Amino acid sequence: MLKVIGKRIALLIPTLVGLSILLFLWVRSLPGGPATALLGDKATPDAVARINEAYGFNKPLIEQYFTYIGKMLSGDFGTSLQTNRPVLEEFATRFPATLELTVVALIFAIGIGIPLGYWAATHVNKWQDNFSVFLSLFGVVIPVFFLAFILKWIFAIKIPLFPTDGRQNPRIDATHVTDFYVLDGILTAEWDAAWDAIMHLILPGIALGTIPLAIIVRITRASVLEVQNADFVRTAKAKGLTPGLIRNRFVLRNAMLPVSTTIGLQTGLLISGAVLTETVFAFNGIGRFLRDAIFNLDYPVLQGFIIFIAILYSMINLLVDISYGFIDPRVRVQ
């Protein structure tokens, strides 16, 4: 198993180097060069020259690349053009919010998706199945921002069950230790703050989790259907094992391989879905920050974000591979 992990981490290095080269070239290929991206296309030659000097854009490409890599390795991703703060600091303060939201979306998607998919597969072609298929279809076609608007309109404004926006009611005097608000509430035993943070996560979590939910339902259903008809399940039935044992040890366990892959892929996608959800709910995570960065062509932020996502994706993939090892012992041997 350790070997598998080591190999995966080793593979990450060439991926990141390749990506860093692409990003480096991207910024240099912006129309008019990076100075114009900073200043707009009406920049005076003087100002362009000043920027080129200040950022070293007038040095040889290779030298620029190594300076850029060197800075990145030391954690210097530049300064956001929108906020004038270090990119890394901006991510660090906003990432806990997005991670919290992602976790809630995943709990929602997995917690409902797997049981619903299983339920559909065990009632194939009956109303339960049709219902699940319809629900998952609905989940896939409805745009995230539209769903977010609708959820907010119904459950925060018309029926005020949930808060409309933000991460926490500003009137609650909460202590922040980790910037994960729910965790902070628990650590400091400020239960009302923790509860309030949870309530702020539910609507955006549902909006964000709907697409992964729909996909998990479909994959689980298909996978369970396939495994149900496998020879070893028939054998198990013939041996007279109890249905519960068959379900848990044979069907679900084997059906989970493709599902866990899907969950891994969807987790990465959640971050991009967060751009819309966080905007609708005025949620201060990296999603909303990224939206502003795109609008303002804040390229240090975009650059940092892409690298960050690449690392995150690789980590998630690694976790998926490790989970394979637990679900299917054959993987451990390979």
Partner 1 sequence: MSLKFSKGALSSAAMLAVGALVLSGCVQSQRDNTSSSSGSADSSVNSTFVFAASSDPKSLDPAYASDGESFRISRQIFEGLVGVKQGSADPEPLLAESWTASEDGMTYDFKLKTGVKFQDGTEFNAEAVCFNFDRWYNFKGLQQAESVGYYYASLFKGYADKPANAVYKSCEATSDSEAKVTLAKPFAGFIAALSLPAFAMQSPKALEEFKADEVTGTAESPVLSEYAKGHPVGTGPFKFDSWSPGQEINLSANPDYWGEKGQIEKIIFRVIDEPTARRQALEAGTIDGYDLVSPSDTQSLKDAGFNIVAREPFTILYLGINQTVKELKDLKVRQAIAYAIDKDALIKQTLPEGTKKAIEFIPEVVNGYTEDVEKYDYDPEKAKQLLAEAGYPDGFTVKFNYPTGVSRPYMPTPEQVFTNISAQLEEVGIKVSAQPNKWSPDYLDRIQSSEDHGIHLLGWTGDYNDTDNFVGVFFGREKPEFGFKDADLFEKLDEAREEPKLEAQTPLYEAINKQVSELVPAVPLAHPAPSLAFAERVESYPSSPVNDESFNLIKLTK
Residues 57-96 touching partner 1, rule: CB under 8 A, are 79, 81, 83-85, 90, 93-94
**Window of 43-51, 61-69, 221-229, 265-273 that interacts with partner 1 by CB under 8 A:** 43-51
Residues 92-131 touching partner 1, rule: CB under 8 A, are 93-94, 107-108, 111-112, 114-116, 118-119
For residue 44, give the DSSP letter. -
- Binding footprint of partner 1, residue count (CB under 8 A): 67
Q: Are 112 and 103 in contact (CB under 8 A)?
A: no
Rg of the chain in Å (alpha carbons):
24
The minimum distance between CB 262 and partner 1, in angstroms, equals 15
Give me the residues paired with residue 79 across strands. 86
**Window of 19-27, 127-135, 244-252, 310-318 that interacts with partner 1 by CB under 8 A:** 244-252
Residue 68 or 281 with smaller CB distance to partner 1: 281
Is residue 294 a contact residue for partner 1 (CB under 8 A)?
no
Count CB atoms within 10 A of the CB of residue 41.
8
* DSSP letters for 253-283: HHHHHHHHHHHHHHHHHHHHHHHHHHHHTT-
Give the span between the Cα atoms of 79 and 298, in whole angstroms.
9
Count CB atoms within 10 A of the CB of residue 224.
25
Residues 156-215 touching partner 1, rule: CB under 8 A, are 156-157, 160-167, 169-173, 192, 195-196, 199, 202, 206
Residue 55 or 308 with smaller CB distance to partner 1: 55
Find the binder of partner 1 among 77, 180, 289, 313 (CB under 8 A): 289
Residue 9 or 92 with smaller CB distance to partner 1: 92
Q: Residue 9 corresponds to which amino acid?
A: I
**Pattern 133-162, binding to partner 1, x per CB under 8 A?**
-------------------x--xxx--xxx
Find the binder of partner 1 among 2, 29, 141, 295 (CB under 8 A): 295
Q: How far is CA 261 from CA 103, 104, 207, 278, 310, in A?
A: 17, 19, 22, 26, 17
Residue 274, phi-psi category: left (phi > 0), alpha (psi -120 to 50), beta (remainder): alpha
Burial class (CB in 10 A: 0-12, 13-18, 19+), 268: middle
Q: Are 317 and 262 in contact (CB under 8 A)?
A: no
CA 115 to chain CA mean position, Å: 22
Would you tell me which residues interact with partner 1 (CB under 8 A)?
A: 38-40, 42, 47, 50-51, 54-55, 79, 81, 83-85, 90, 93-94, 107-108, 111-112, 114-116, 118-119, 152, 155-157, 160-167, 169-173, 192, 195-196, 199, 202, 206, 247-249, 252-253, 256, 279-282, 284, 288-289, 295-297, 326-327
